Chain A
Amino acid sequence: MEVAVVKKEVKAEPMSEKKKDRITNIFVFAFLSFGAIFMVAPLLWMFSTSLKSKEDVFALPPVWIPKDISFSKYLEIWDMGPLLSGIGNSLIVALSVTIIGTLTSSLAAFAFAKLKFNGKNKIFIMLFASVMIPYPVLMIPQFIMFSSIGWVDSLLPLIVPGLFGNLFMIFFLRQYLNSVPNSIIEAAKIDGCSYFQIFYKIIFPLIKPAVAAQLILWFMGIWNDYLGPILYLNSPEKQTLQLVIANFNASYAIQSDYPLIMAASVVALLPMLIVFIIFQKQIIESIAISGVKG
């Protein structure tokens, strides 16, 4: 009896429910747009400030689109600080670490996922336990180690540890490789492939999409890093981009040259923004997976 009543209600309702759904969707859209404005407004403000004259910055009420749009600050910044060498240094660190580190990480992931060896479980857990150690605990002794071999004020302390691989990447790629059937590898072995050949002919092409997404995320992490560089780099021409713009901020805020500071910050932010917009699908998917697997 009750079941019949419920069914009748469900059948009688679809039209009005659809309408209700549409109205809800309009509200939801408005809510999301409102939120999106809050998310993007500060960044737009940053860009707008960078196009203003020094005086326009202090206009009340604020001007979002300056009367005289001027890109002159984007020319000026290159002479006002070591911005170009900052970009170069950031590129050197990020590229060398991600390219070599990705190779070492994917080789290790291959071994952990597909090869048999004694102590596999123990070694993996041991490696993974080290991600629990926060950087602040390691930074002091690491600094002393690097300074004793004279590497302070060089890019080496930022590059060398990364060349040995990234544990998150190993973990993620190992997970990904678990879905690759062992029989492919067995077949390759029978055909006389060496382990290196198996890796670069079979495994690497298979995990390429996962590798790409992880590499981009890692690259972004290094590009945006601040604590590592601030510990090691003193000379202005050795500094990475993030430090250079922080120094722009410290030196030019006194002169209230905000357009200059904002232009430099936009330059620091733009490369990753472009990378993100191009690879947004892969990046977002990769993040979502890592969260669900947690």
Chain B
Amino acid sequence: MKATSKLYRTEQRYAYLFIAAPVLGFLIFAMVPLIYSMYGAFTNWNGLGQMEFIGFENFINLFKDEYFYKSMYNTFFMMLGIPIGIVLALLLALALNRGIFGTNTFRVLYYIPVISSIAAVSILWQWAYNGDYGLVNQFLDLIGIEGPNWLQNTATVKPALIIMAVWKGLGYTMLLYLAALQSVPKTFYEAAKLDGANAFQAFWHITLPMVKPVTFFIIVTNIIGGAQIFTEINVMTPTGGPEYSSASVVFYIWQKAFGNFQLGYASAMALVLGLFIFIITLIQFKMNEKSSFDLD
């Protein structure tokens, strides 16, 4: 009995040693900054003078700030790309799931934008959206449409960013769907066929319900990612677009914090964003029974 407990203690000592780095990292780079940020949001923190506690003033100002609303609206607007991407990706995955000639090549080709650096891709699309010589308008010209100056126009700058985001993310979503489709037992479809179901019915009553957990995962991760959109806006519209019409929340936070040094105000904004993301994540954990953290 004594021997086992000594062995157990040795094992425990090593275990603590092995997890020490991530636990320390968690405390230093997540916990301390989080608490700091939560406190900072209630102060007039500007990086230089004293941090003075000012209660809810930042939050009150935030909800009177036209630019905050604008950046929120822009961020949500650009999430319209999520359903478009999902429908396209599912279609592509269904097509690829037939196991036709060239499947692997297609998978690689569709995935290339995903692994491409977002900065390089933004530079490329900024050029592609050039009003006079860009690829997009030259293509539209072929089918007789005169394209706008995409990134200089309040009406088109957000759709332009959405198209690019769909293009970049499509391969990833498609891959997740393809994996999900391949795990649906073939017998389900055979049974449905025997019962006289047509292809559409089989899709509606078998495929869709079977890929539902993946759909849910995609929606949640896309919302979390979409809420933090920054790089493409910073590269393609360095000033936040015409009339600030492409600025996202993170872009506004970044400007306020590192441009104007309104650190308290920016922290308050970041906290609102963090809360939103937290709620979305919580919904995922609640609804996805599959994710459990049972050890042993």
B167 in contact with A28 (CB, 8 Å): no
Query: Which of A57, A115, A118, A248 neighbours the largest number of chain B CB atoms within 10 Å of its CB?
Result: A115
CA distance A283 to B217 in the complex (A): 19
CA distance A268 to B118 in the complex (A): 10
Instruction: Select A128's contact among B120, B213, B254, B293, beta carbons within 8 Å.
Output: B293
Neighbouring A residues of B116 by C-beta, 8 Å: 43, 224, 269, 272-273
Neighbouring A residues of B16 by C-beta, 8 Å: 111, 117
B32 in contact with A32 (CB, 8 Å): no
B281 in contact with A132 (CB, 8 Å): yes
Is the C-beta of A200 less than 8 angstroms from some C-beta in chain B? no
Known: A108-B19, A284-B175. A224 touches B170 (CB 8 A): no
Cβ < 8 Å to A, chain B residues 181-218 = 183, 193-194, 196, 213-214, 216-218
Q: How many A-B residue pairs have CB under 8 A?
A: 298
Instruction: Select B102's contact among A29, A116, A124, A230, beta carbons within 8 Å.
Output: A29
CA distance A18 to B178 in the complex (A): 23
What mask results when residues 20 to 39 of chain B are scored 1 for a CB within 8 Å of chain A, else 0?
A: 01111110111111101100
CA distance A38 to B109 in the complex (A): 10
Neighbouring B residues of A138 by C-beta, 8 Å: 29-30, 33-34, 37
A136 in contact with B274 (CB, 8 Å): yes
CA distance A165 to B18 in the complex (A): 11
Measured CB to CB, the nearest residue on chain A to B33 is A141
A137 in contact with B34 (CB, 8 Å): yes
Neighbouring B residues of A60 by C-beta, 8 Å: 133, 138
Neighbouring A residues of B179 by C-beta, 8 Å: 288-289, 291-292
CA distance A110 to B11 in the complex (A): 12
We find that the number of chain B residues with CB closer than 8 angstroms to chain A is: 107
We find that the number of chain A residues with CB closer than 8 angstroms to chain B is: 103
Q: Which of A69-77, A205-213, A257-265 contacts B (4 or more CB under 8 A)?
A: A257-265
Cβ < 8 Å to A, chain B residues 88-117 = 92, 95-96, 98, 100-102, 106-113, 115-117
A137 in contact with B108 (CB, 8 Å): no
| A168 shortest CB reach to chain B, Å | 11
| B117 shortest CB reach to chain A, Å | 4
Cβ < 8 Å to B, chain A residues 106-150 = 107-108, 110-112, 115-118, 120-121, 123-128, 130, 132-145
A246 in contact with B278 (CB, 8 Å): no
Is the C-beta of A176 less than 8 angstroms from some C-beta in chain B? no
| B4 shortest CB reach to chain A, Å | 11
Neighbouring B residues of A262 by C-beta, 8 Å: 123-124, 127
Q: List 18 A-B contacts (CB under 8 A).
A: A35-B110, A36-B110, A45-B135, A110-B18, A112-B19, A116-B15, A121-B293, A134-B227, A137-B274, A140-B33, A164-B21, A226-B117, A226-B234, A245-B123, A269-B116, A276-B108, A283-B115, A292-B179
5 new A-B contacts at CB < 8 Å, known A40-B109, A165-B22: A46-B120, A60-B138, A140-B267, A246-B119, A265-B120
